[in-house]
Every structure is written in C-alpha cells, then in structure tokens.
Structure 1
Amino acid sequence: MEEYDELGQQLAERLAALVKRAEIIEDDLRQPLNDDWDEQAQELADDEALSGVDEVLRNEIVQIRLALRRIEKGRYGKCTICGKDIGIQRLKARPIATRCIEHAV
C-alpha cells in the first residue's frame, strides 16, 4: 500500500500533535481552582470550553488511530458500505474517511 504511505505519515504526525495538545488541556483541567469566587467562575467557564475542545480532540485521535490500523491491516481506502475504493482525492481531503463519496453522509 505504498500509495497510502504519505497519508499514513500525515496521520501519524497529526496524531502526535493531537495527543500532545490533549495532554496540555488535561493538565490545565487538573489545576486547582482559584480561591477568589469571581476567578473561579471564569475558570469554570474556561474549563467547560476546554472540556469541549478535549472531547473533539479525543474523537479525532480515535478516528486517526482507526485509520492507521486500517492502513496496517490493508483495509484502508475501502468503503465500509460497498467495499469499493475510496478516491485518493477524498482520502487526501479527509484521511479518516471510511466511506466513498457515493456513501458519504
């Protein structure tokens, strides 16, 4: 699957960046709250936003890991609905795609 080597490398690099970013967010979320009530309110609002970002990051991390596993198993680039090849242009645009353009929802 040499044609997917470059995409696999891009996915691996993206995964490393996302994991690092998620770790930073988790460290920030573990910080104790300020003693000042006004500051606490702001920190809680910030933490809620960070939790949302962390959830999105975690979801993308899972999707990338699954895509990398499909590359390893030789199933990458195949539509999970019809089994046909997913176009390379679609994979370049969305490397975690699991469906061909015909079955994309």
Structure 2
Amino acid sequence: MSDVFDPKSILERLHRDYRQRAEAIRGDLARPHDTDAVERAGERQNDEVLQALLAEAEAGMRQVERACQRLVEGRYGICRRCGRPIEPARLAALPVAELCLHCAGLEP
C-alpha cells in the first residue's frame, strides 16, 4: 500500500462517487408518485430532501471539476488567495481545497 498522495486518482474517485449519487437521486425523483393525497404529501417532502441532496452532489461535482482543472493548469495545491502551498494534510482531508488553512480562516 502506498502512502503517496495522488490527487488525480482521488479527484476521479470523488467525481465518480458524486456522479453515482446524483444519478441515484435523479432515479428516485423520477419514480411515479402515489395517487393517495396523504401519500403524495409525504412523497413531496421526500422529494424536497432529495432535491437538496442532488444540489449538494452537483455542487460537489463542480468543486471536483474545478480542482481537476487546477491540477491540469499546475495550480492544484496552491492557495487562490495568498499563492502559498496548501498544507498536504488539508489536501488529504479536503482534496478540493482552494485555500490554505490560514486563508480559509479569513473567509466570512
């Protein structure tokens, strides 16, 4: 087992996970609804939760896509605010990080 941080494979896996999650949620949202009014009301509530989860998955995919673009451009792991390297532990924990710990603490 290698301890080498490989951002490309990690980002690819994250993107695949978000994409699969989004596809599963879209499938759930496409299911037919019950004709019973009480059941429909519960299903609408469930749909609202699913819509929020879908939005989170899609936002995650966009973050990963931006991180992949930074990787291609040679800017991955460089803080977009101060230009210093992002801490390796931060990237390991949050591979899509755009800010170093210091600058992330400055975000409102």
TM-score using structure 1 length: 0.90
Letter paired with 2:10: Q
CA RMSD of aligned residues (A): 1.4
Cα displacement (A) at 1:33:
1.6
Structure 1 stretches of at least 4 aligned residues deviating more than 3 Å after TM superposition: none
Cα displacement (A) at 1:38:
1.3
CA contact (8 A) 2:5 2:92 kept: no
Quote the Cα distance in structure 1 between the aligned partners of 2:11 and 2:44. Answer: 33
Structure 2 counterpart of 1:37: 37
Quote the Cα distance in structure 2 between the aligned partners of 1:51 and 1:11. Answer: 24
Quote the Cα distance in structure 2 between the aligned partners of 1:5 and 1:99. Answer: 18
Cα displacement (A) at 1:30:
1.8
Quote the Cα distance in structure 1 between the aligned partners of 2:5 and 2:69. Answer: 13
Structure 1 counterpart of 2:93: 93
Provide, for residues 7-58 of structure 1, a one-character-per-residue CA deviation record: whole Å limited to 9, x for no partner. Answer: 2211111110110110111121122321111110111011011111111111
Residues 1:12 and 2:27 are matched in the alignment: no
Cα displacement (A) at 1:88:
0.9
Letter paired with 1:73: E
**Structure 1 spans left out of the alignment, 5+ residues:** none
TM-score using structure 2 length: 0.88
Letter paired with 1:29: L
Alignment of structure 1 residues 45-60 onto 2, 5 Å: 45-60=45-60
Cα displacement (A) at 1:85:
0.8
Aligned residues: 102
| 3-state secondary structure, aligned to 2:103 | coil
Structure 2 counterpart of 1:66: 66
**Structure 2 spans left out of the alignment, 5+ residues:** none
Cα displacement (A) at 1:5:
6.2
